Structure 1
Amino acid sequence: MDKMSKEALAVKRAEQAFDRKRRTIGLFGGPILAILVFLTSINGLTLEAHKLLAIMVLVAIWWITEPVPIPVTSLIGPTLAVVTGVVPANAAFAAFANPMIFLFMGGFILAKAMMTHGLDKRFAYWLLSRSWVGSNPKRIFLAVGLAAALCSGWVSNTATAAMMFPICLGLLTSIKEMFAANGREIDLHEYKYATGLMLMTAYACSIGGVLTPIGTPPNLIMLGFLDQMCDIHISFFEWMTWGVIAMIVYFIIAYIALYRMFPADVERIDGAEDFIRTKIHELGGWTRAQKNTTIAFLIAVVLWITPGFLSIALGSTSPVLKMYSRLFPEAVAAMLGALILFLLPINFKERKFTLAWKDAMAGIEWGTLILFGGGLAMGGMMYKTGLSKWVGDAIVGTMGGEPSMVAMVAIFSVMALLLSELTSHTAATNMIGPLAITAAVSAGMSPVPVAVGIALSASLGFMLPVSTPPNAIVYASGYIPITKMIHTGVIIDVLGIACVTIPLVLYFVTWVVG
């Protein structure tokens, strides 16, 4: 067993031991703390809010420690709220039919069709085959990151990482073969460029998620909280105007940091262009299924971004814009794009259509949808019972009563980041989101900058293999020492938070005033 295999095995065993202790502590500690909270007298809370606070303690601890699957915990919260008389059943479970869930569902189905028919690979190989990339290792590094980031804006970061992983392995094999042909043997486990390329792939997959509302769950969760708790609707187009900027800034930080830390020691990679050319040849010509999927995807995208252009051309109060928004909200646009896949034929005689239902079912991340619904349900109940206002006032009080917008965004962004490093970023956003929004409202501020800051920061989980699925996927290659991942992750996390806070506040001050 080589050095890297021993290190990976030791890390895996340590993770398993830590997870076992964490789950055991959470399993018993969560209910005990919840009961203690309920038995403790708290001024300023109604009975319903007091009960809900105890339930929230249990749910939060179980989301972090995961003694049961996170989606199960998301169902336990609303169920206990009904059983304990906090709210009636129709109010507790109404959030599971929130339109945002169907926006995500439509996005999942479209992404599944793209993966099933190889549209994502076709795009990635097309980008890598551009003449400006060639066999230059620095440009290959850039192209791999761009392909991963742009794909993960529309497809889940896990699926994107799984797609890009073998592409990177093939490129690294070309490097090894090039050195072997020149009489030099290298160990990719100790080759800096291999480490950097794998980390770039993982980080770019997470960075790309900030591009669109459907790119990663925290985006939609915070948009859902804003809509549900503050009646503030952020359109798909509006989010992308911020997401594009955030993605570019994050990407530049990651690219510069990683390439400076893990540079290539050659001017060109012989065989890289042949490898990409071979992969493109294997894809063959465009199939009917790929063309149909492209049509469905473009329909959804056009419907998503049209309100933004209508607002620019006709004004935000235009009757045409209001009618369009009523007829084609984001969730309906996503479902229309997804449902067309079941109607566009690839072989009408055999009644074969672009996507089969069994494939669509496999592409929908039901656990994420349940977690999303559970988070919205708990946030909504906190708002209705007055618990969120009580918590918000308490948070603002501990911050001196009049916190600045910069401090508010920075504090909650850091909290979201730290929790996302240790647990699911979806669960972390569900926990932090309602508190941050109500704290901002209690302080007399717009909750939008804080909400967007949390969503963007939750995507900065770069320190550990367990932080995000892309990290875990590339770490399994054996080319990334755990110390290198932690070191680079800390640097990019810190720079990312700094870039989120002050520019975000300045942008939103301008946006709100305008």
Structure 2
Amino acid sequence: MEKMVLSSKTRAAQSPTERWMRYLGFPGGIALFLLVFYLPAGAGLTGAAQTGAACFALALVWWVTEPFPTYVTSLILMFLLLITRTSPAKPLMDVLGMEVIWLNLLAFILSSMLVKTRMAKRMALWLILRFGRKASWALLAFVILQLALAPLIPATAARCVMTLPLMIVVATIYGSTEQNPTNFGRNLLLLNLAGISVLSSITMTGSSANLVAVGFIQSMTGHRVYYMDWMRLGAPIAIMSMLIMWFIGQKFIFPIKPEDQVPHIEGGLALVEEQHRAMGPLGRQEKKAIVIFGIVLFLWMTDIFHMRWFGVEISAPFAALIGAVLVLFPRYGVLQWAEADIPWHLLIFSAGAYAGGLALEDTGAAEWGVRTLFGGMNLRSIPFGAAFTIVMAVMMYSHLLTTSKTVRTIIMIPIIISMSKALGWDPVSMALPAALCIDWVVGLPISGKPNVILFSTNQYSVMDNFKFGMATCTVGLLLLVASAATWFHWLGITPSFWAMPK
């Protein structure tokens, strides 16, 4: 574990297919850029929006195929946005000052603290001793852990930061490292990614975007969504999806070899138990780490009370900043600056990704794409079940178009409510299930904050992320459609699956 660092080296191609993707990705990205750039502008699509979409399309191809390191592609994207005048220089430079970038930086300082003080190792050894006799049970333990944390800590990045050191140590114990990633490591990291995002849809307080959706539903329909209303719809789908992905991930998407089903340690679990016992009682530095992380965790969990208690709201990044100050404080801290494993290349990758996403949103390209998609559908001639499936699919996969959950909510939910009213259906029957899809941002490393953080481990590729993420979203979509025909209908949320528009 002490040798595990987050280097900026390009991840080695794992198969002939990946090598060919790297060869073809470079000209493919340029070809797609030219195709989008020179297409006749559609109705309502400005020149800036079309140019921004072309730049982002090129970057997306290069991020997926990796002819260059991902951070180089991000720098190229920012350069293209500047020279095509899609975005001014200042907003491009300002992305490095965004809260998400700072949260990434501070997250790795806190993770480094847990690694250096050996708290991560102690917790990982305990986890392996309790659940790690077989790889599948170790994976299930993380699903249960993410399920327990989701209602307590709404910030997905905070949950990712808390559990990342454990993921890295457990992956290493099972033989999956940055230099030699295995399917166990892919399953572990991507299952946690799915859990961090998907399980946020269990409650309406799982993310701020959920609350925005609830606000739209109440203001535009007059229907008040209560906490239990959301939970009785969202919890079964989210939990069932995670259990299904736990099973099919290790069996079909990334099958785990028999030799990777057990810890890769000479002496097996007996040695793990011996190492855990040899660590002895908690040391002084470990106790400091517990106190510091406890303070940060307390601030994350009690954010709704901050204004009443302190007269100021302490956001997740600022709480992490307080923790980082305590970690690095001279003489009394637990870490020197040089000991913090901060992947600066990841911050550059993140900056480019958010610059591209903001360009799509600011130029109106993302909104135009969604409105054009809905506007081109004739939903008056099909039954509710078919229309429901189409709308949920658009909502579920729309996170590939824009990186902001709030922006997706602001664009999509009012459109869905207005469309449902026009078709004569209760708008809640479409809008509330659609709102459950907001947190399922698992398709790409640029789709959310935890995605960026976990991608830095080099345990999986962009294509690995896409495969697992699309499988997760498809499982969720199928469960949503099945629920609309059964569970939601019995609760009075959706009409008959075969009801026609009025």
Secondary structure of 1:86 counterpart: coil
Structure 1: runs of 5+ lacking an equivalent: 1-10, 171-197, 217-221, 233-240, 312-318, 346-350, 420-427, 462-467, 476-485
Distance 1:473 1:260, change over 3 A: closer
Aligned pairs (5 A) from 1:265-280: 274-280=270-276
Aligned position for 1:142? 137
Inter-partner Cα distance in structure 2 for 1:56 and 1:492: 24
Q: Is the 8 A contact 1:148 1:205 kept in 2?
A: no
Distance 1:29 1:160, change over 3 A: farther
Distance 1:165 1:391, change over 3 A: closer
Q: Verify: 1:320 aligned to 2:308, yes or no.
A: yes
The code of the aligned residue for 1:100 comes to V
Shift of 1:329: 1.3
Distance 1:47 1:410, change over 3 A: closer
Shift of 1:246: 7.6
Secondary structure of 1:395 counterpart: helix
Q: Verify: 1:336 aligned to 2:332, yes or no.
A: no
Q: 2:193 aligns with which of 209, 227, 237?
A: 209
Q: Is the 8 A contact 1:49 1:382 kept in 2?
A: yes
Inter-partner Cα distance in structure 1 for 2:27 and 2:63: 13
Q: Is the 8 A contact 1:157 1:209 kept in 2?
A: no
Q: 1:26 aligns with which of 1, 25, 28?
A: 28
Over the aligned positions, Cα root-mean-square deviation in angstroms equals 5.4
Aligned position for 2:120? 120
Shift of 1:378: 2.9
Aligned length: 407
Inter-partner Cα distance in structure 1 for 2:56 and 2:468: 34
Inter-partner Cα distance in structure 2 for 1:487 and 1:72: 23
Distance 1:71 1:246, change over 3 A: farther
Q: Is the 8 A contact 1:103 1:334 kept in 2?
A: yes
Aligned pairs (5 A) from 1:221-300: 248-254=239-245, 274-300=270-296
Aligned pairs (5 A) from 1:383-398: 383-398=361-376
Shift of 1:115: 1.9
Aligned position for 1:64? 64
Aligned position for 1:219? none
Q: Is the 8 A contact 2:125 2:276 kept in 1?
A: yes
Shift of 1:255: 5.1
Secondary structure of 1:454 counterpart: coil
Q: Is the 8 A contact 1:104 1:369 kept in 2?
A: yes
Shift of 1:436: 8.1
Inter-partner Cα distance in structure 1 for 2:211 and 2:96: 15
Q: Is the 8 A contact 1:299 1:337 kept in 2?
A: yes
Inter-partner Cα distance in structure 2 for 1:286 and 1:340: 19
1:3-36 per-position Cα deviation (integer Å, ceiling 9, x unaligned): xxxxxxxx94513432333323335424432542
Inter-partner Cα distance in structure 1 for 2:471 and 2:410: 28
1:62-118 per-position Cα deviation (integer Å, ceiling 9, x unaligned): 333333332233333343333333343223333332222222322222112112222
Q: Is the 8 A contact 2:22 2:65 kept in 1?
A: no
Aligned position for 1:6? none
* Structure 1, 491-500 or 160-169: larger mean CA deviation: 491-500
Aligned position for 1:190? none
Structure 2: runs of 5+ lacking an equivalent: 1-12, 147-156, 177-181, 201-205, 217-230, 381-385, 419-430, 448-453, 494-502
Q: 1:359 aligns with which of 320, 334, 339?
A: 339
Aligned position for 2:75? 75
Inter-partner Cα distance in structure 2 for 1:300 and 1:223: 18
Q: Verify: 1:163 aligned to 2:169, yes or no.
A: yes
Q: Is the 8 A contact 1:300 1:337 kept in 2?
A: yes
Inter-partner Cα distance in structure 1 for 2:268 and 2:62: 47
Q: Is the 8 A contact 2:120 2:165 kept in 1?
A: no
Aligned pairs (5 A) from 1:364-403: 365-400=343-378
Aligned pairs (5 A) from 1:296-311: 296-308=292-304, 310=305
Inter-partner Cα distance in structure 2 for 1:72 and 1:249: 39
Aligned position for 1:438? 411
Inter-partner Cα distance in structure 2 for 1:373 and 1:299: 29
Inter-partner Cα distance in structure 2 for 1:214 and 1:111: 23
Q: Is the 8 A contact 1:26 1:61 kept in 2?
A: yes
TM-score (norm 2): 0.62
Secondary structure of 1:391 counterpart: helix
Q: Verify: 1:455 aligned to 2:441, yes or no.
A: yes
Q: Percent identity?
A: 19
Inter-partner Cα distance in structure 2 for 1:472 and 1:205: 10
Q: Verify: 1:47 aligned to 2:47, yes or no.
A: yes
Query: More helix per residue: 1 or 2?
Result: 1
Secondary structure of 2:160 counterpart: coil
Distance 1:300 1:404, change over 3 A: farther
1:294-326 per-position Cα deviation (integer Å, ceiling 9, x unaligned): 212111111111034x49xxxxxxx628x75x4
Shift of 1:230: 13
Secondary structure of 2:282 counterpart: coil
Distance 1:497 1:281, change over 3 A: farther
Q: Is the 8 A contact 2:111 2:161 kept in 1?
A: yes
Q: Verify: 1:498 aligned to 2:478, yes or no.
A: yes
Inter-partner Cα distance in structure 2 for 1:276 and 1:109: 27
The code of the aligned residue for 1:297 comes to F
Q: Is the 8 A contact 1:208 1:215 kept in 2?
A: no
The code of the aligned residue for 1:115 comes to V
